[in-house]
Structure 1
């Protein structure tokens, strides 16, 4: 048999009030513990899902910050590599400048020849240099200078060709200078003197000439390429044997070349005078220094990598800026450039007087040293340009990195504004609910006391 216990309406109302207070206290305690007023979709679906979307995007953007940081470090590694390469390039420039400082030792100089004798100086009473400079170059026979005659060297005029113009040029000869790829040829007329020959050589841009105080002629190349000097003729039209002596070609008269310019280290009566520059030991010592620094440049280029990516080795890196994909994705592609001494046009230094081929240089060759100077200046300019491009890319990444950090903070703040609880309000609610619960318990107690009074009457 079931028994039902009756509860007065007042007590039941008080119990319901206490249950409601307990429920509100539970919600209040959850908010105080989590700091959020919306903890699930049941609390407020719109705020909950909006805040969740903002938080998810903030998390996605935060995950991209690591890639941006790696991109910056990759660019910085390449930039530091370029700085190091430029420092080495400047040291190479110093080596080249040291080599250029002793240029005089490497100029080819033809052996001198006495153009005025002591007898002539005594007879005429002038200086040996003046006598030599005033001598006529061409003549049927050599003649000493005297009080009434300037004298002449007696070099024969050369008939250039056997055609209709032969008589017109029968009193001329030619002198040819060659150094490297440069050639300079000029005519000597019957009235030309040694001084005129000196002036023509000085106009050539290939060599310089002078007569010293002893009446000796010296010819010195302006560069370090071997200098070839020859006296002879240039064939005119109508030559008898065009297959051998073509019109316009220079034919050397080797015996008379020796008479005018003297003997040289490689002198032979069968060839023109060849003046070869002497090698410089100081320059030779700089070859290994140059090539060692060149190797250091390549090492710096190879070591300028970060996390396996080396922009100086032609690698490519991509930095992603947003969480989207496809056409909506924001990113920066950085294509590296293979950068080393080969691509920069800095070849190997050789200990040679002959001009080197390609991008290489000969340290004993003055023209090659200038070529090295120009190549190094161009290489430094190229490296600085590449450094500027990398700096621009780094600035772009850093700006976007700062933007992403700020945007992430905005998204998180927006999400918090939707879901965070007002802790001051919740603390006040907690106090109010505690008081409410206490009053409810007191009211229930009073109701029970009233019921007990009725029970006493029944007894």
Structure 2
């Protein structure tokens, strides 16, 4: 038999059931922190939030790869900084070697251009007499003229030669010049040689012309004469007038070699130089991170987004093999060998200085490239973190519940529930009134 409820009781029960259902839903929101817990609650918000959270999670997963890439770049950058310091130390070593004046520079002294008899006649030193002598045979006697109290004398170059030529070769450097012989003296010739930059000249107290190389390479010195400048240089190339100064033609054609004496200071610096050079290779090998070394030719690829194919955003950094050889820094020795720097040779030391300067330029270029790539990677790392946060926040805005609002709603429903329970009690009391008739 069906139970019949009065309208008041039925209304109170319906209200109480509705309130209980709403309270259960709000309690679920407070427990999960979301107002949309399934597609039933809001299909659009649910699937949109799911998509945003999925992309945020993918970007967060890329952060580890970006971080590893940044560390790889920084490791290479630190290696470059350390190698730069080593190259600076190599420069200091070369400067120490250069500061020790070479003892093996080629030197040639001619015969005396002045005699004691001339000194007695002129009351001058042998040196001054030699320096004041004219180059041309001004009295056309075809031989050296003696200096007197009234004449300076000459070294006997033919009067038909109105130009004096000079040809000096030191290693791969050649200096050639000509000047008028009119009134020119030995002092003018000395000054011209000193202008060459590859040799120096002076007249000593014995009245001898001395020529010395500024470096350690074989020195070829030729003096010539002719009616015209080009002809004078051509004559100088064969040492045509060398004999006038007590030199020989072979001093230009074959050259004067060094004495072969080695500098102990330079010899001691060779090991120091080579040890520093070896450390460049060792440092480059130790500049890797997690098995990737940009200074040993490895490549690192940093992915910035979750896409694939042509839509993928990434940074590819191709490293370079860094070594002393690749930087153009040769090993040092005490002798001239192919591919080595002879520390006893001034020209080789100068070449080493240029090579080290070039190495520093190369290192700065590599460092600049690494710095630019590091800046890009760090910027993308910060961007990825921020974007991931924005995506997560956007998803939360779609499905997250407002705790304050839901708590207030629950409190209101609890009040309504109490009222509904009271209404139900009153309705039941009304139905029970008929029992008083019995």
| Common fold: TM-score over 0.5 | yes
Q: Which range moves more in the overlay, 437-446 or 3-12? A: 3-12
Residue of structure 1 in register with 2:367 after alignment = 387
Instruction: Note the alpha carbon deviations across 1:254-296, whole angstroms, 9 max, x for none.
Output: xx9698149xxxx99xx76544364221122211111111122
In structure 2, distance between residues paired with 1:184 and 1:440 = 117
Residue of structure 1 in register with 2:54 after alignment = 56
Q: Which runs of 5+ in 1 are unaligned?
A: 158-167, 235-246
Residue of structure 1 in register with 2:209 after alignment = 217
Query: CA 1:104–1:273 in 2, change beyond 3 Å: closer, same or farther?
Result: closer
Residue of structure 2 in register with 1:375 after alignment = 355
Residue of structure 2 in register with 1:160 after alignment = none
SS of the counterpart of 1:99? helix
Residue of structure 1 in register with 2:246 after alignment = 260
In structure 2, distance between residues paired with 1:439 and 1:49 = 39
CA contact (8 A) 1:106 1:279 kept: yes
Following superposition, the deviation at residue 221 of structure 1 comes to 0.7
State the TM-score, normalizing by the size of structure 2. Answer: 0.82
In structure 1, distance between residues paired with 2:289 and 2:216 = 46
Query: CA 1:184–1:16 in 2, change beyond 3 Å: closer, same or farther?
Result: closer
> Paired residue for 1:429, among 396, 409, 415?
409
The count of residues paired between Structure 1 and Structure 2 equals 423
CA contact (8 A) 1:137 1:194 kept: no
Alignment RMSD: 3.8
Q: Which runs of 5+ in 2 are unaligned?
A: 227-233
Following superposition, the deviation at residue 185 of structure 1 comes to 7.4
> Paired residue for 1:78, among 76, 79, 84?
76
Instruction: Note the alpha carbon deviations across 1:155-200, whole angstroms, 9 max, x for none.
Output: 9x9xxxxxxxxxx99x9999864421345678999x9875565455
SS of the counterpart of 1:110? strand
Instruction: Note the alpha carbon deviations across 1:371-427, whole angstroms, 9 max, x for none.
Output: 122221222122112212221112222222222222222211111111121222211
CA contact (8 A) 2:224 2:235 kept: no
Matched, 1:330 2:322: no
CA contact (8 A) 2:223 2:237 kept: no
CA contact (8 A) 2:155 2:244 kept: no
In structure 2, distance between residues paired with 1:46 and 1:273 = 95
Query: CA 1:186–1:276 in 2, change beyond 3 Å: closer, same or farther?
Result: farther
Instruction: Note the alpha carbon deviations across 1:191-237, whole angstroms, 9 max, x for none.
Output: 98755654554455432221122212211112221324578999xxx
Following superposition, the deviation at residue 125 of structure 1 comes to 3.1
Aligned residue runs from structure 1 range 15-414, under 5 A: 15-103=13-101, 105-111=103-109, 113-133=111-131, 134=133, 177-182=168-173, 194-195=186-187, 198=190, 201-202=193-194, 204-229=196-221, 260-261=246-247, 273-276=256-259, 278-352=261-335, 354=336, 357-358=338-339, 360-414=340-394
Following superposition, the deviation at residue 6 of structure 1 comes to 4.5
